[in-house]
Amino acid sequence: MLNIIDHGNVREIRLNRPPANALDPELVEQIIDSLNRAAEQAGAVVVSGLPGMFSAGLDVPQLIGMDRAGMSRFWERFLHMLKTIATLPVPVAFAMTGHAPAGGIVMAIFGDYRIMPGGGFKTGMNEVQVGLVVPVQVHRALVRAVGPHAAERMLVAGEIMSSEKALEIGLVDELAEDPASVVARAIQWCEQHLALPRAAMLRTREMTRADLHELFEEGDKATDGRFVDIWFSDSTRAALNELLNRLAKK
């Protein structure tokens, strides 16, 4: 499900679960493990995806069949994956090689830098449209990136936007010309940071990202449980099944 490619002191973790790099329990565990190993073996990390598709988010067809205990375990590990990204001790650039809705951009907002291709690619957090609510850690990380007003507009409407608009509001940091050039630019960004005096760069990075770390210092089991409650609510199940029906017709 992952390809590991070293570019000198920059390690690329490439999501490779066609067709959409959807996040299921196995992929989440592999991402956690690969990030932790990269932090020990490389100076910086690039997380990339398939040409034209970074990740479509949660694997709804698989997850909708889980019982409550299974979904609770998955959600705990999904949040742990976000914590791993947020607290990794080396820089993490997200090379979003195409579309990055929902869980795709959710992962990326906890990284250091986000690059997407211009020209027709979409991102955004559409959770409300399928009856879900983002966890509080995601909301606060989004506010950190785009500000409270833009975050409110995005989340309440479940907006999916162009990569150009995402750049405009600060959801992504840079647009590349096409999907093929996103990874190279992300590697270059990492190399620019690795060329800085390392101790000063890492200490300053730790200081400026302390607010992200704090989001995960005290687990909110009540909030986590509310997500699972919503997942199993009648209205959300109806919305998720409608989504599956739409996907089946494509």
Instruction: Give residue-wise pLDDT tens across range 106-119.
Output: 999 999 999 999 99
Q: Give 155-208 pLDDT, tens digit per residue.
A: 999 999 999 999 999 999 999 989 999 999 999 999 999 999 999 999 999 999
- The distance in angstroms from the start CA to the end CA of the chain is 24
Residue pair 52/100 in contact by the 8 Å Cβ criterion: no
Region 206-235 average pLDDT: 83
Q: What is the DSSP letter of 127?
A: G
Helix and strand element counts for the chain (H, E): 12, 10
**Backbone dihedral angles phi then psi of residue 94, each to the nearest 5 degrees:** -100, 115
User: Does a structural domain hold residue 221?
Assistant: no
Tally of domains within the chain:
1
93 pLDDT more than 60: yes
Query: What pLDDT does 226 receive?
Result: 83
Q: What angle do CA 52, 93, 128 make, to 5 degrees?
A: 60
User: Does a structural domain hold residue 250?
Assistant: no
Q: What is the distance between the alpha carbons of residues 13 and 29, in angstroms, rounded to a whole number?
A: 13
Query: What pLDDT does 40 receive?
Result: 97
Q: In sequence order, which residues have a C-beta less than 8 Å from that of residue 4 and are 6 or more positions away?
A: 11, 12, 13, 14, 34
**pTM of the entire predicted model:** 0.94
Q: Which helix (H) or strand (E) holds 59?
A: none
What mean pLDDT, rounded, does the chain reach? 94
pLDDT band at 218 (very low <50, low <70, confident <90, very high): low
Of 47-51, 161-165, 194-198, 238-242, the least confident: 238-242
Tokens read off for 145: 């990136």
Q: Could you tell me what percent of the chain has a pLDDT over 70? A: 97
User: Does a structural domain hold residue 162?
Assistant: yes
User: Does a structural domain hold residue 217?
Assistant: no
User: Does a structural domain hold residue 142?
Assistant: yes
User: Does a structural domain hold residue 188?
Assistant: yes
Query: What pLDDT does 38 receive?
Result: 98
User: Does a structural domain hold residue 222?
Assistant: no
- Residue 125, domain extent: 2-199
Q: What is the distance between the alpha carbons of residues 45 and 41, in angstroms, rounded to a whole number?
A: 10
221 pLDDT more than 60: no
150 pLDDT more than 80: yes
Task: Supply the CATH number for residue 129's domain.
Answer: 3.90.226.10
Query: Which of 117-121, 193-197, 238-242, 243-247 is the most confident on average?
Result: 193-197
User: Does a structural domain hold residue 219?
Assistant: no
